[in-house]
Amino acid sequence: MEEQLDFAPVGYLVMDQELKIIEMNRTMIEMSHVESAPTHMHDLLTIASRVYFQTYFIPAIITHGAVSEMFLRLKGPDGPIPVLMNTRKRNELFECAFMQVPIRNEYENELLNAKREAEQISHATAEANSQLQLLLDEVECKREELDVMNERLKELTITDVLTGLKNRRYLEEFLPDIIQESGLALLMIDIDYFKKVNDTFGHHAGDSVLKELADVLADTIGTAGFAARLGGEEFVAVLPQMDLSEAQKIAENIRFNVETHDWPYQPITVSIGVASNSDCNSFPDLLNEADTALYNSKNAGRNRVSVSS
Which residues make beta-bridge pairs with 236?
188, 228
pLDDT for res 167: 93
Per-residue pLDDT of the chain (309 residues; tens, 9 = 90+): 688 888 899 999 999 999 999 999 999 999 998 988 899 999 999 998 998 898 889 888 988 899 998 999 999 888 899 999 999 999 999 999 999 986 555 666 666 777 787 788 888 888 888 888 888 888 888 788 776 776 666 666 889 999 999 999 998 888 887 777 667 899 999 999 999 999 999 999 999 999 999 999 999 999 999 999 998 999 999 999 888 899 999 999 999 999 999 998 899 999 999 998 875 667 888 899 999 999 999 999 999 999 987
- HSE, CB side, 13 Å, CA atoms: give it for residue 21: 18
CA 125 from chain centre, in angstroms, equals: 22
**Cβ–Cβ < 8 Å for 292, 273:** yes
pLDDT for res 123: 82
pTM for this structure?
A: 0.54
* 266 closest CA partner among 178, 196, 170: 196
List the domain boundaries for the chain: 3-102, 115-157, 166-307
* Cα(101)–Cα(240) distance, integer angstroms: 93
pLDDT for res 152: 67
Does the domain at 3-102 match CATH 3.30.450.20? Answer given as yes
Question: What's the CATH architecture for 166-307?
Answer: 2-Layer Sandwich (3.30)
What stretch of H or E contains 77?
none
**Cβ–Cβ < 8 Å for 307, 295:** no
pLDDT for res 155: 67
Kindly name the residue from 2, 151, 181, 233 that is annotated as catalytic.
233
Residue type, 251: A
pLDDT for res 165: 94
* 93 closest CA partner among 12, 10, 3, 31: 12
Whether residue 212 lies in the annotated active site: no
* Cα(40)–Cα(48) distance, integer angstroms: 16
Angle at 158 between CA 282 and CA 308, to 5 degrees: 35
What Cα–Cα distance (Å) separates residue 19 from each residue in 23, 60, 61, 149?
A: 12, 14, 12, 77
Q: Dihedral through CA 51, CA 54, CA 57, CA 59, nearest 10?
A: -130
- Alpha helices per DSSP H over the chain: 3-6, 26-32, 47-64, 104-157, 168-181, 194-201, 203-221, 244-259, 283-299
By the 10 Å C-beta count (0-12 exposed, 13-18 middle, 19+ buried), 69 is classed as exposed
By the 10 Å C-beta count (0-12 exposed, 13-18 middle, 19+ buried), 8 is classed as middle
* Cα(40)–Cα(244) distance, integer angstroms: 108
pLDDT for res 225: 93
